[in-house]
Every structure is written in C-alpha cells, then in structure tokens.
Amino acid sequence: MKLDLSLHNYVDWEVKPVIALKGKFGYRVILRYMDGSEKVQQKSGFRTDKEAAKARETTIGELHAGTYIVYANVKVAEFLSFWLEDDIQRRVESYETYRKFESIVRLHIVPFIGKKKMIDINRGTVQKLYNDRAEYSQSVAKLVKTIMNISFNYAMEKKIIAENPASGINLPKRIKAQPFHIRNIDTRKTLTMEQIQTLLEASRETPIHMQVLFNVLMGLRRCEINGVKYSDIDFVNRTLKLQRQLGIKMNTKKEDFAPKTYTKQEVRMKTPSSYRTLPIPDYVFEAILEQREIYEKNKRRRPAEFQDLGYICCSSYGRPRSKDYHWEHYKKLLQDNNLPDIRWHDLRSTFCTLLLKNDFNPKAVAKLMGHAKELITMDVYGDNKGIIEDCIEELQPFIDEVMPGADIDQDDELLTENMDIVIPVETYLNESNLCMPC
C-alpha cells in the first residue's frame, strides 16, 4: 500500500489534556486540514501523569516550531520506496537511472536498516551502515551516503523525521588516498590491441559489427549506440552528435506501445554531460558509409514493410535493435576467437583505458566518455574493483548537492579539446588486416 504522506499539511492543531489510558497515561493530538477533516493521533504508554504532561508540553513546542513528527511508524523500507517513486522517478526522467537508484536502495540499504522505523534511525545507525558498505566497496559506500543524505532531507520536508541523522556523517577511510592523477588500470577487464584487432575482424561477419565499432572505438554506451541515426552524422566534419538513447520512458506501461517497441523508445540521455559531439575515426566512418548502402538497399527491397527511421544499428526492416540484441552474437564472438570472456561494457572500458594508457588528457577522456568530471573516469575505470559501472556519474548532480566540495574545476580549453582526440586505430592495429572490403 502506498504511503499517505499528506498528513503534514495541517492548517491547525489542538493538544488535549492528559488522561488515563489503559492503566497508564496519555494525550491526543488533533490535526485539522483545509478541507475540514481531522486526524487524531494518540500519545500513550506513559507511566505517570507527570511524565505524560512533560511529553505533552514537548509536543506543543514542536507543533509551534513546525518540527512535529506526523508519521511516527513509517519504516525505512516503506519510506525509501515512496521516495523513489514520488521524488526520484519524477526527477531523473530516465528508467535506467531510476533502476540504478532503486538497486542501491534495495541491495545496500534496505537489507541493513529497512525494518527500522525512520524515527529510530540515529547517527550511530548511519555510521554502522557506512562502515559495512565501505568494507564491501568504496564506490557503493559513496552512493549509499549520497542516497541517505538526499532521501532523509526529503523525509524532513515530509515531517517524517525532525532532523537528518546522515548529515555530517563521513565514510570511513579504509584505504589510503591516492594522488589525484595516479591511474590504476585493470587490464584484466579490457582487451589488448591485438585482441581488439581480432574482435573487429571477426565481427564483420556478424550483425553487431557497427555496435562493436561504436563501443570499442568510440566509447558509446549500448543504449546510446542503438539510438544513433544517420542524421546525427556530420559527413563533412566527420563527427557524431549524441542526443538520444533508446530505452523505457518513465511512467509508461508496455500496453501503451506497439508490440516489441516498449524498450526501444527515444528517451533523454543519462546526464547533461552525455550530450556530446565526438570525432569519428576513419575506420568507423567508412563502416558507417557501407552500412548506409545496406540500409538503402533494404529500403528499396522492402518498400512496404521497411520502417525508414534512420537508425544506423537496425534490422533489415529498419527497426531499431533491442538493448540486449548484441548479447548472443558478442558471447559467440569471444568464444570462437579465444578472447577473454569480458562484459560488453568492458569494451567501453577498453576504449577509455586505451586513451589513458597513451597519455591522453583525463579530463578530455571524461568528456568523450560522457562523464561529468575527470574524477568520475578515474573512479569507474581506474579502480580495480569496478563494482558499479557508470553509476556514480548518474548521481553526480545529487553528489554536487550533498557534497559540493567534490567539484573539480575544468579548464576552458577542454570544452573543445575532446574534438582533437581520436583513437589512432591505424597506428596500433595491423593496417592490412583492417582495410574495409570494397
């Protein structure tokens, strides 16, 4: 059942005198609302009338000060579920982002404090939560800290708690801080140049060749790849303007859409920094031109059935690919070519680490990746644990709100520096093996 958190909007109140209640003492609080309705709350269980009278005076003071807690029995799990739906779901405007918020709450907060009442959460409880999650992962602990601060501030607004017990609570320092520019790249989760060459060559004979190119040679996310259209390509300057991704629209139902289109809706990008213009490597540019020829051929061959939507990665009928379409083909590619069994997302990590290992400016790399800051690229792709992929950046606007000191200045020249960065594929790969078929 959804929580009714409208009770704090009372316009008047009254506190009744202390009376005997079931062998003990208590009093009643009457909250009155604009529509004339009333909500009666009973405060009981006091051993003496003096103890009840003291509590009654405290309640009156809280009502005068506007700090009276209307919802004394709300549990943490109930509140966080409400918060995700009432606040985050309406603010993030992205199903994928919302899903990751929800997963942090479900997996890393609710199992530890979900059954506790909100009013029983104190600073010690929060510190224990942070300590436990920091033992699991520093990245997870940072996200838990951010969510606790934001959600409990929201709880204060709703008169669920009087103060935020997470305010001012710091994460434990489990590991020695590293100088900011030290980069620790976990090469076990990326491909070598020789392995990249093998993958690119082998993928030509599969329907995911363009997806592989966009991932490993340009660093695009899978939902961004599926949303790329020919109209996003500047064929003169050879650049790609990323301005959409495919996914699920917030607050919609599957039955609202045509069959097999629910997860393929054009939605906004994950963060403002995800909107970016990227230079296209020559190898990828030639592949785009070839793919366009195939696109036009399919359109002529199936004039009635073809959906001319302009997606580069599409079926022979012009329909966009689903989020997980690549999975079966990708795993088979790895297996058939004796490549490491890494995740699809690790190809994006390969792109990032390839640039970092060749001394490209980390801030410019962050821009290419669509990350908000240099720090994010270092955290996600420089940490050997790598437990949460692309997650911190989604919470960055909220991290800025809660921990504004974490911001990092960016030089003005970096606004355009990313346009000068292209993976020099021909430099690292065997050029004779990578020539495009005529």
pLDDT for 378 equals 43
Pick the more confident residue, 18 or 360: 18
Pick the more confident residue, 249 or 239: 239
Query: What confidence tens digit (pLDDT) does each residue in 12-45 have?
Result: 999 999 999 888 999 999 999 898 899 898 888 8
Place of tokens 């309640």: 59
Asked if the model's pLDDT at residue 349 lies above 80, the reply is no
How many CA atoms lie less than 13 Å away from 302 in the CB half-sphere? 12
Length of the chain: 438
Contact between 79 and 160 under an 8 Å Cβ cutoff? The reply is yes
Per DSSP, the three-state class of 19 is: strand
Pick the more confident residue, 163 or 231: 231
Containing H/E element for 43? Answer: strand 38-46
Query: What confidence tens digit (pLDDT) does each residue in 77-99 have?
Result: 999 998 998 888 877 767 777 88
* Cβ neighbours, 10 Å, residue 96: 18
Pick the more confident residue, 362 or 45: 45
Asked if the model's pLDDT at residue 392 lies above 80, the reply is no
Pick the more confident residue, 116 or 397: 116
pLDDT for 358 equals 59
- What is the model's pTM? 0.58
Average of per-residue pLDDT across 352-357 = 66
* Percent of the chain predicted with pLDDT > 90: 39
Containing H/E element for 40? Answer: strand 38-46
Query: What confidence tens digit (pLDDT) does each residue in 242-287 have?
Result: 999 998 887 788 888 888 888 888 888 877 778 889 888 888 899 9
Query: What confidence tens digit (pLDDT) does each residue in 105-121 have?
Result: 999 999 999 999 998 99
Per DSSP, the three-state class of 13 is: strand
Burial track 270-280 (b if 16+ CB lie within 10 A, e otherwise): bbebbebbbbb
**Would you state the torsion angle of the CA atoms of residues 384, 371, 223, 104, taken in this order, to the nearest 10 degrees?**
60
Asked if the model's pLDDT at residue 345 lies above 70, the reply is yes
Burial track 394-404 (b if 16+ CB lie within 10 A, e otherwise): bbbebbeebee
Q: For the chain, where do the domains classified as CATH 1.10.150 start and end?
A: 76-157
**In CATH, which of 3.30.530, 1.10.3470, 1.10.150, 1.10.10 is domain 76-157?**
1.10.150
pLDDT for 80 equals 94
Average of per-residue pLDDT across 319-331 = 92
pLDDT for 430 equals 46
Question: 68 in the Ramachandran plot: left (φ > 0), alpha (ψ -120 to 50) or beta?
Answer: beta
pLDDT for 16 equals 93
Asked if the model's pLDDT at residue 375 lies above 80, the reply is no
Cβ partners under 8 Å of residue 381, min gap 6:
185, 349, 352, 353, 356
Mean pLDDT is lowest, of 261-270, 328-337, 392-401, 404-413, for: 404-413
Q: For the chain, where do the domains classified as CATH 1.10.443.10 start and end?
A: 187-434
CATH hierarchy code of domain 187-434: 1.10.443.10
Average of per-residue pLDDT across 155-171 = 88
Pick the more confident residue, 122 or 353: 122
Asked if the model's pLDDT at residue 305 lies above 90, the reply is yes
Mean pLDDT is lowest, of 120-124, 133-137, 230-234, 404-408, for: 404-408
Mean pLDDT is lowest, of 53-67, 222-236, 351-365, for: 351-365
* Percent of the chain predicted with pLDDT > 70: 75
pLDDT band at 347 (very low <50, low <70, confident <90, very high): confident
pLDDT for 343 equals 87
Average of per-residue pLDDT across 147-165 = 88
Mean of all residue pLDDT scores within the chain: 79
Phi and psi torsions of 172, nearest 5°: -70, 145
